[in-house]
Structure 1
Amino acid sequence: MDSLGSLGVFVRAGEARSFTVAGQQLGISSSAVSKAIVRLEARLGVRLFHRSTRNVSLTPEGALFLERCRRILGEVEAAEMELSQTQSAPRGKLRISLPSIGTPFMNRLAEFKRRYPEVELEIDCTDRLVEVIEEGFDAVIRTGEPNDSRLMSRTIGSFRLVMVGSPDYFRRAGLPREPEDLAGHDRLLYRYPNTGKLQPWPLCRDGQPAGIGAERQASMVTNTLEPQVCFAEQGLGIACVPDISIRRQLDDGTLVSVLDDYNQDRTMLRVLWPSSRQLSPKLRAFVDFIAGSPLAA
């Protein structure tokens, strides 16, 4: 069992490329991780990591050993899961990540917690594209197409980007009726955290992009959703935001959508989890539950 523990520490460190991050994920100090790796290297008689004052990286032998260890630990995990499936209800820590668009799921997550009280939820909300495996997440909710072959996915719904502003703003600035009318309006823009690019607005005429460049008439630029919604409600401009994030505002009239005839955009929402990871009772319960969420429809 001590050997399996050392292999687990090595896999975490190898995937994270950091003793500090591995320690944080395992709940131990970075020095404890380093000592476990040193003992493992001494037992194997081979160097697994290149070390410098700034970072660590796998040696060729370490990279080969990492793949073997993943398979070994995967088999152990599978055996444990087979046993646990026959008995206990979902329990234990479940680490998940949601983009800011996932905020509407919070009521559903609260319901999940009430249904499965022995599951400890650790929720990370960020528009940064997290590294699911390297950062130790059990599952994430993401938009768009999955691009990591190491992940399994399940579609849980879709949403539409809509252009919205407050009634007061449109009384003052006028209601845009054509995409080109945006040239006379203040716009509350979103910048992708991972690429630094501004989000284009999905306006089309006869299948061709319409409107003005994303960088023009920027009243505000942000890399998360909440400021866009807040500023739009305060009458400071037009925002392009997911419809599922502003259903309440659209229903009570504090925000009004415009240019809907020029916007047929739809984006998929998916839940993803590591393909090497067995569907434990807690993870299976979460995937099945969130996929049935009416907020994702």
Structure 2
Amino acid sequence: MDRFDSMRVFTRVVERRSFTVAAQDLGLPRSTVTDAVKQLEARLGVRLLQRTTRHVSPTLDGEAYYRRCLSLIADLEDAEGAFAGARPRGLLRVEVQGTLARHFLLPGLPAFLAEYPEIELSISEGERWVDVIREGVDCALRWGTLPDSDLVARRVGVLDRLTCAAPAYIERFGLPGDIDGLEGHRMIGLRSLSTGAVRPLEFMVEGSLRSVTLPTLVSVTGTESYLMVARLGLGLFQVPRFHAAADLAQGTLVPLLAACPPPSVPVSLLYPRNRQLSPRVRVFLDWAARMSAGNLGVAA
């Protein structure tokens, strides 16, 4: 294994905090990964990693070397990519919140892979907040307000949201005229995976945000379950418009309180700030930004 391959192994171990997981990511035996790091440490004459039975973390020297490795690897990939015929290639790990991939990325995927046939995509969908660096993800597509982090957030569009209910719910509880008329109504609870708290309904009233929490008989954590419970007539709920579009067209859901809609939310592509982007990540970010912005009707 040459020096650059050893550097790639080392950076993956640092990011994954595990020799075993790094070996799985790279398709290498764990012993090969362990030996590569030992050889680096012997050549440099310093300890790069602190190892315990459950945890691996970089030493101060290891953190400094990790940052230099990222820069050198990126320079090497840029240099190789500058030659005619060189194309972005390799495994690309992408985390996508909820069903954004199915609505905004997957429809255009055949064209992307036809243009970049040497890129292998691994796409994961989930609702929880993913630690992009620690979990070995190259980039993530998420909607909503983003917490402070060391990630770069590239806004690619905005999602409109709306309040809905099923006809069966309206037949039972009536049609609310405004948010002051929500007494006696129920909502479907959408629980945060990180805190377990049920999110309130949100409404924009004359430019100001108002939050309303109604009695909840059912609460869920997943978007698809949230939509299914709404179809069953068990409460009011709020979703991005694209989620409810088919139901609205079929009449299985009815829009409510259009004069005070929920606030719209941004859609962002996230990637590590301190990692120079490989060619495969750069081309994917540009393509995903165009796809998301085009489907959302908002310039990236």
Structure 2, unmatched stretches of 5+, are none
Residue 259 of structure 1 aligns with which residue? 257
**Aligned twin of 1:56:** 56
Q: 1:183 to 1:16 in 2, by over 3 A?
A: farther
Amino acid at match of 2:103: P
1:87 to 75, 85, 90: 85
Aligned to 2:228: 230
Superposition pairs of residues 167-246 of structure 1, within 5 angstroms: 167-210=167-210, 212-213=212-213, 216-246=214-244
Corresponding residue of 1:288: 287
Give the partner amino acid of 1:11. Answer: T
For normalisation by structure 2, the TM-score amounts to: 0.85
Counterpart contact for 1:191–1:198, Cα < 8 Å: yes
Q: Secondary structure at the match of 2:169?
A: helix
Contact residue 271 and residue 287 of structure 1 kept, 8 A = no
Q: CA deviation at 1:98?
A: 0.9
- Aligned positions of 1:90-169 closer than 5 A: 91-102=89-100, 103-105=102-104, 107-112=106-111, 115-116=114-115, 118=117, 119-144=119-144, 147-151=148-152, 153-169=153-169
After TM superposition, the score normalised by the length of structure 1 is 0.85
Question: What is the letter of the counterpart of residue 123 of structure 2?
Answer: I
Q: Could you tell me whether the CA contact under 8 Å between 2:166 and 2:233 is conserved in 1?
A: yes
Hey, what's the Cα distance between the residues in 2 that align with 1:177 and 1:115? 51
How far, CA to CA, are the matches of 2:212 and 2:284 in structure 1? Answer: 45
Aligned-residue identity in percent: 31
User: Mean alpha-carbon deviation: is it higher for 111-120 or for 183-192?
Assistant: 111-120
Q: Aligned equivalents of 1:29 and 1:200: distance in 2?
A: 48
User: Taking structure 1 as reference, are residues 93 and 238 closer, same or farther at Cα in structure 2, changes over 3 Å only?
Assistant: same
What CA distance in whole angstroms lies between the structure 1 residues aligned with 2:46 and 2:25? 25
| Offset, 1:117 | 7.0
- How big is the alpha-carbon RMSD for the aligned residues of Structure 1 and Structure 2? 2.7
Which structure 1 residue ranges, 5 or more long, are not aligned? none
Matched residues in 2 for 1:38 and 1:271: separation? Answer: 36
Conserved 8 A contact 1:94-1:283 = no
Residue type of the partner of 2:104?
Answer: F
Query: How far does residue 282 in structure 1 lie from its aligned partner after superposition?
Result: 6.9
1:249 positional shift: 1.3
